[in-house]
Chains A and B, each alone.
Chain A
Amino acid sequence: MRAPVSHRFVRLLAALGLAGALLLPALAAPARAAGEKLVLRVGTTQDLDSINPYQTLLVTGYEAFELTYNLLVDFGPDLEPIPGFADKWERAADGKSWKFHIRTGMKWSDGTPATAQDACYSWGLAVVAIKADAHIGAGYLDPGLKDAGVTKVECPDDQTMIAYTTDASDRILQTYLTIIPRHIWGAKDYKAIGEAKFEAPLVGTGPYTLAEWKTSQYARFVRNPNYWGKQGAADEVVIQFFKSADTMVQALKAGEIDYARGPNADQLKALQNQPNVKTVVGSANGWTQLAFNGYGASNGKTIKGGGPSTKALLDPAFRDALGYAVDKKVLVDRVLGGFGDVGNTIVPPVLGQWHVEPDHPRTFDIELAKQKLDAAGYKLDGEGRRLDKEGKPISLRVFLPDTNDSDPKVAQFVKDWYGQLGVKVTTQVRDSATLGNIVLPPEAGKDYTANYDIELWGWAGNPDPNALLQIFKCDAIGSSSDSQYCNPEFDKMYEAQTAATTAAERKTILATMQNLIYDQAVYDILYYDANLVAYRTDRFGGWQNQPTANGTPLFSYGSINYTLLTDATAVPSPTPTVSSTPAPSPVPGSSATPAPTPVPSGSGGTGGGGGDNTALYVGILVAVLAAAGVGLALVMRRRKGTPREEE
């Protein structure tokens, strides 16, 4: 007597199994048929927020507009100026203007001729905005032009754009301002373009133009047939957004993507053993810091219900002493898994020619820190608490963003180390928007109170160090300053280095500025982050780091690296393994160690792939389920239930 239910049950299972079996052939490894498009698939854990170049706040957004549009002057393999929208440029004899030659016969991807009028329109928007003391959109692109001292642009003919400048440097060649098509956007002024809704497909002069954007899923770029430069091997570029680095790494291993931006340290180490995968450790143009709230140090102002909780924070000697209590090497090793560099000055080493090491470096020495605190007048009380000069126990509130999982770890170390000095630390995690508001002082608006002691966060800069320097200027208080630091001397030097005519002169001033901020301990720069990247070499070759010494292949500057990629499958290579790839030879210091050392994680085997663990997992799963099932079956008598809600 069999119940029909079970029959139906079996039939359904059979149907499902059949459906599954039918699917399998479709899942075979993607071998490219003749005539099929060659697609470069790029994975990133960062989303794309906007395809309007003036609105995007994220690196992915920059990548999208750099692929689609051209900068007037692009960035070469080592960030040197190379032809972009303009193919030649020269400085006028009097030094007051630059003449840019726009290449002849260039076309937008829709076939419309691309001329100097487009350049004049795009730069003109920024010039007007600068004159009005305003910004376009989010305000990240036009300051480059202001920084380069551009006051006026004119286009005497379709092949020439002249930019007048008050600036003696050649920063004009590093402006991050794209040239957008005038025949599409020309009716918009600088205010309207900042709000404008850009929609795929976009028309550009770059190597690949945005064809499709599925929010939070992917952005697809197609080859621009009218591109003026060398065409890359890929027919299409798809940038795919992942919620977690883990799924991204799985996708890379499975060959679903060719490039993964942002695996974590453990994942990168595991990937070093993967066949056909190469890993890169690039230096980020930025850092993670402890920013001390020094509000009022320069002008004696206080904030009602806000500001730093102790005057000690305004004292450089106090901040300096704290600096001896932080072991940055330990942070790099334990928090970053060894990827990253110990931090010191405010120009990251990735900007090699401008970075200097501090003249008076602080080394980790808790005892010395204690002595310095004692000497500066911050004594311990009977309970081992460090007192400020008002006699109040010092308790510092550290605020950090919830955007990554390394910051909380750093906070725990800092809490521990400062604690050894008798300085209590409390930690508060906030979402980044809230945190950004917490650190704003009343200068930004009457609702802001800068109610924090230390902000644990980071900054990322531009190819030119100015972007990172201006955080410390007096006029940054109320906008980007998170140290509330103001020193007219620093401001003066900032202007001087901007006006410097030679690199050597500028470097001298920059060195003084870096040492000033370091000695004053305005920030404690903990480490310069690393950009971890892994890519496959079995479908594309020609990967190059930009800059070659310490950069990464993609998501750096300009679009040149996409055009350098070659079709690895087209080359008859018998064994496409790491050793035989046409990829560039590892640049010293840029690629990860060639991994003779066993990876400390993983299954303990040498293979290290997911496959090795599978049997283990299946075993565990089956064992757990079986044990639980049998155990329950023995104790079970009867049950009733309630609906399961959504989770």
Chain B
Amino acid sequence: MSVAPVAPVVPVDVRGVRWRLRLRNAHEFARRYAGRRDGVVGAAVLLLFAVLAIAPHLFVGPLQTVTTATGAALEPPSSAHLLGTDEVGRDMLNLTVHGARVSMVIGLLATLITILLGAVIGIVSGFLGGRSDQVLMRLTDFFLVLPTFVLAIVLAPIILDIVGTDAEFFGIRATLFVIIVVIGLTSWASTARIIRSQTLSVKERMFVDRARVIGGSRAHIMRRHILPNVVNLIVANTVLTFAGAIFTETTLSFIGLGDPFAPSWGQLLNAAQESGAPGLGAWWYIVPPAFCVVVVILAFTLVGNALDDVLNPKSATR
């Protein structure tokens, strides 16, 4: 069998047209998204938190630990500590801002795993059909009905046992990967479902048939023809998944499955509960992380919904 290159021969000018089309689409997208006040506000909030997460030390200095704490235990807010201190005298503003990094990175990586798994399984399942589709969908159904949270609780110690090291990646301790993997493994199924159904409808369209006729490999078709047409769905789904991941992370950390050495917001709330902050009236220990959690989840939801409406007008309800 001769190895003829099967890449579609795309004339240069056609490629140019495609680019212009994309540009126009992008412009159109920006115009319509800008019309969504909720989406814009959400995006602004997320931008702020992203900046905090990327460079927390620029705003509040390095993460305070029990050894470098600057205040007394449970000091109420003052000019020295704008948000007060925790039970070992660490500055709450410092912790909350650094918590943004931990929470956001966990959310980001968990979302990546979720979307990657969901998209690959969804596209492959929808495109291949037949036996593989059946097997993959049974698997998806199975993960769909698994009690996510209990599964996460059970998986956490198992994974901790496997990856239990002290190494750091991007300033994130390895133990946090437990939470990331757990969230990823337990939440990809619904994404896979959505993407599969979209794939099924894209598959029937003319250009896919054409690509098949001119001899495109299945992997090629999936990558070059199916993926671009489900990417809108993936984008909106990613943002909503992010909100879910942060929600789950907060909850897992709150019940004590987090890493005591890396303060995510959920971990801070757990520490607040453990140290009895609610009963001691130390509201400054609870309000900042709780506020951040709610605001960030809300912002992600707003952005996700706005994106969904703008990118997938058909699913929008008007």
Contact = CB atoms under 8 A, between A and B. Distances in A.
A592 interface: no
Contact size range, A = 35 or more
Contacts of B148: 645-646
A431 B256 CA distance: 11
Contact of A246 (B76, B256, B261, B279): B279
B72 interface: yes
B279 A604 contact: no
Contacts of A291: none
Contacts of A2: none
Interface string A617-632: 1001000100010011
Contacts, number: 126
Contacts of A628: 294
Contact of A249 (B87, B166, B279): B279
Interface stretch (B16-24, B100-108, B269-277): B269-277
Interface string B61-86: 00001110100111110000000000
Interface in A304-351: 334-335, 337
Contacts of B75: 600
B37 A602 contact: no
Contacts of B220: none
B283 A620 contact: yes
B273 A246 contact: yes
Contact of A602 (B89, B161, B260, B281): B281
B280 A602 contact: yes
A427 B262 CA distance: 12
A601 B66 contact: no
A563 interface: no
Interface in B155-171: 157, 160-161, 164-166
A245 interface: yes
Interface in B13-50: 36-38, 40-41
Give the interface residue-count category, chain B.
35 or more
B41 A405 contact: no
A239 to B, nearest CB: 21
A353 interface: no
A600 B278 contact: no
A489 to B, nearest CB: 37
Given A600-B74, A604-B76, A610 B41 contact: no
Nearest to B259: A429
A245 B272 CA distance: 12
Contacts of A464: none
A639 to B, nearest CB: 6
A331 to B, nearest CB: 10
Given A244-B274, A613-B283, A624 B251 contact: no
Interface string A217-251: 00000000000000000000000000011110110
Contacts of A416: 65, 67
Contacts of B142: none
Contact of B38 (A429, A434, A637): A637
Given A334-B89, A636-B38, A612 B281 contact: yes
Contacts of A413: 66-67
Contacts of A600: 72-75
Contacts of A282: none
Contacts of A634: 37
B240 interface: yes
A640 B305 contact: yes
Nearest to A330: B67
B283 A617 contact: yes
A245 B260 contact: no
Given A250-B279, A610-B281, A640-B305, A620 B274 contact: no
Contact of A337 (B73, B76, B166, B317): B73
A611 to B, nearest CB: 10
A427 B165 CA distance: 9
B65 A412 contact: yes
B281 A405 contact: no
A270 B75 CA distance: 13
A616 interface: yes
Interface string A583-604: 0000000000000000011111
B117 interface: no
Interface string A444-475: 00000000000000000000000000000000
B247 interface: yes
B36 A637 contact: yes
Interface in A382-437: 397, 402, 405, 408-409, 412-413, 416, 426-431, 434
B287 A263 contact: no
Q: Chain B CB within 10 Å — which of A244, A601, A631, A635 has the most?
A: A601
B263 to A, nearest CB: 11
A571 B274 CA distance: 38
Contacts of A620: 283, 287
A617 B75 CA distance: 17
B11 interface: no
A267 interface: yes
B172 to A, nearest CB: 15
Contacts of B294: 628
A246 B276 contact: yes
B300 to A, nearest CB: 13
Contacts of B175: 429
Contacts of B281: 601-603, 610, 612-613, 616
Contacts of B278: 246
A36 interface: no
B256 A402 contact: yes
Contacts of B76: 603-604
A431 B157 contact: yes
B251 A267 contact: no
A246 B67 CA distance: 25
A405 B271 CA distance: 8
B149 interface: yes
A427 B280 contact: no
A267 B282 CA distance: 11
B88 interface: yes
A449 to B, nearest CB: 14
B66 A334 contact: yes
B88 A408 contact: no
11 contacts: A246-B273, A249-B276, A397-B166, A428-B165, A601-B282, A620-B283, A631-B41, A632-B38, A640-B317, A646-B149, A647-B247
Interface of A: 244-247, 249-250, 253, 263-264, 266-267, 270, 334-335, 337, 397, 402, 405, 408-409, 412-413, 416, 426-431, 434, 600-604, 610, 612-613, 616-617, 620, 624, 628, 631-632, 634-637, 639-640, 642, 645-647
Nearest first, the 10 closest Cβ-Cβ pairs linking A and B are A426-B166, A613-B281, A601-B74, A408-B260, A246-B276, A416-B67, A635-B37, A246-B279, A635-B38, A635-B41
Given A266-B280, A639-B305, 13 more contacts: A244-B273, A250-B279, A267-B280, A402-B256, A412-B66, A412-B67, A416-B65, A431-B157, A600-B72, A600-B74, A600-B75, A635-B302, A640-B317
